[in-house]
Amino acid sequence: MEQAEKAIEAFVKAGDNRDVAALHSILHPGFQNIQDGFFDERGIFVFSKSDYIELILTKQFGGSPRSWVINNIKQSDNMAIAQVTLESPFLIFHSLIICIRDNGYWKIINNTPNIKVK
């Protein structure tokens, strides 16, 4: 479980620091970010790995350090599902993060945040 937790930490820090190289490394090629709402827009939004990285590059996502805690994590052989709370000065994220072990390396394959403005 420790390796999955390290993958989650790497994902969070890469987003906070807008570290695109780290995101390329930690995100699985099939990564999806699924969220209900996108700033002022309503509805379900699904972002691929390339979409997510583009949102980081254009500074629509990331760049604000967050405190975070893993509230719960369950792991099978090659998959870990974590409930994570992240908090920035402006937003609170209640996220479901799914990691998979791919060729011996833990990768983030899904992030489903519920985002609230403080």
Domain ranges, ordered by start, for the chain: 2-117
C-alpha distances in Å from residue 19, one per residue of 37, 40, 74, 118: 24, 26, 27, 25
DSSP label of 49: H
pTM across the whole model: 0.94
6-55 pLDDT tens trace: 999 999 999 999 999 999 999 999 999 999 988 788 999 999 999 999 99
In CATH, the architecture of 2-117 is: Roll (3.10)
Token pair recorded at residue 69: 């805690």
CA distance 12 to 60: 15
User: Phi and psi (nearest 5°) for 39?
Assistant: 55, -115
